[in-house]
A and B are shown apart, each in its own frame.
Chain A
Amino acid sequence: MAKVAKQAKEGKTTKTTKRRKTVAIDVYKAWCKGCGICVAFCPKGVLAQDEEGHAYAKNLEACIACMQCELRCPDFAITVITEDRLNAGKGGSAHG
């Protein structure tokens, strides 16, 4: 805790905030059935459904990368792409 506070004081971004930067949210439309679970349980109201019912990031800036949408998607169709994932060379959609 003390370390985090010190880093914050020095103006350094803590590991957590850096890790949590969301670059994009990928929805694999071929698998998304439009059930709306990700939209309903996103704590920040990031997601919405398009005319066909597919999820998309309407308000990407608000994403806190909590991964609740990935966790509950019954169809494994949504991937939150964060900066750390990209840095680790694991960026992009889980569907390649």
Chain B
Amino acid sequence: MPEYTRLIHNYLRHDKKFPHVWCPGCGNGILLGSLIRAIDKTGLSKDDIVLVSGIGCSGRLPVYVDFNTLHTTHGRALTYATGVKLAKPSLNVITIMGDGDSMAIGGNHFIHAARRNIDITAIILNNSIYGMTGGQYSPTTPYGMRASTAVYNSIEQAFKISELAVTAGAVFVGRQTVYNAKLLDNLIEKAILKKGFSVVEVVTHCHVQYGRQNKLGSAVDMLKWQRDNSIPVEKAAKMSPEELKDKIITGILVDKDLPVYEEEYEKVRERAKGLA
């Protein structure tokens, strides 16, 4: 029998201000639970984990948990994470980023970290908006949706984060909703254990900024939308692009092996020293 709540409390920093800062019903809290359960299942110790975030509502996440944590600058989580990983490759490094954080200001860092295949797990909370700063559109705001900087609705096409990660060369890419928290636990666990650059796109809701501006209802309504619009990748393979329009394709999109950056880097050091 799972003991979800009790398990989670073992990992929280109880000296921090609780309840946490996120709005009532925000998906960030659900992801925090999933992440803790996933880490617990990997059997890694708290000291083995480094959690690095940028800035945004999502960026607050590492503050609440008892791992090695870094709350860095907007868009730069992966740069700090790269430094940590190269300085101490034995650590298990995980970044938490928003869609604005990882795809707009941090977009270049993202594609190059993927291409390089450094052993980092990148968890992206995709709520389709800049939550913290007041609901401006982000690179994942769908065409035709409203934002405070797109009051006549967005005229741009949205990035598909997972597909972008696959193209950029990430060795493990998966997408899941916070509604399906149990499946999200499993996906995150796999991504953490995978060697190389692993991406988990977490489809979540910001009912306060995105939801309100687009009249999508409460957190509960947006969770129901996630439930009713998710299609497992195996099933999606048999469907037409028209049928898949506005659907969330969930599951593991890619799982492959390529040389890992920090190991290759170590070989270069050996060669430079004339040892190899």
Q: Which residues of A contact B (CB under 8 A)?
A: 19-20, 30-37, 40-41, 65, 67, 70-79, 82, 84-85, 90, 94-95
Contacts and interface: CB of A to CB of B under 8 A. Distances in A.
Interface of B: 1-6, 8-9, 12, 18-20, 22-30, 32-33, 178-179, 181-182, 218-220, 223-224
Contact of A73 (B1, B5, B28): B5
B28 A74 contact: yes
B4 A35 contact: no
B218 A36 contact: yes
Contacts of A20: 1
Contacts, number: 87
B143 to A, nearest CB: 29
B219 A72 contact: no
Given A35-B219, A40-B220, A74 B8 contact: no
A71 B186 CA distance: 13
A34 B9 CA distance: 19
Contact of B30 (A19, A36, A72): A72
Nearest to B10: A94
Contacts of A72: 30, 33, 178-179, 181, 223
Given A36-B218, A40-B224, A71-B33, 20 more contacts: A20-B1, A30-B19, A33-B25, A35-B25, A35-B218, A35-B219, A35-B220, A37-B220, A41-B220, A65-B1, A67-B2, A67-B4, A70-B5, A71-B181, A72-B30, A72-B178, A72-B181, A73-B30, A74-B27, A94-B8
Contact of B220 (A31, A32, A36, A70): A36
B22 to A, nearest CB: 7
A70 B179 CA distance: 13
Given A74-B33, A77-B19, A34 B24 contact: yes
B223 A74 contact: no
A80 to B, nearest CB: 8
Nearest to A82: B1
Contacts of B219: 35-37
Contacts of B6: 79, 90, 94
A76 B5 contact: yes
B5 A79 contact: yes
A37 B25 contact: yes
A71 to B, nearest CB: 5
Contacts of B5: 70, 73, 76-79, 94
A35 B208 CA distance: 12
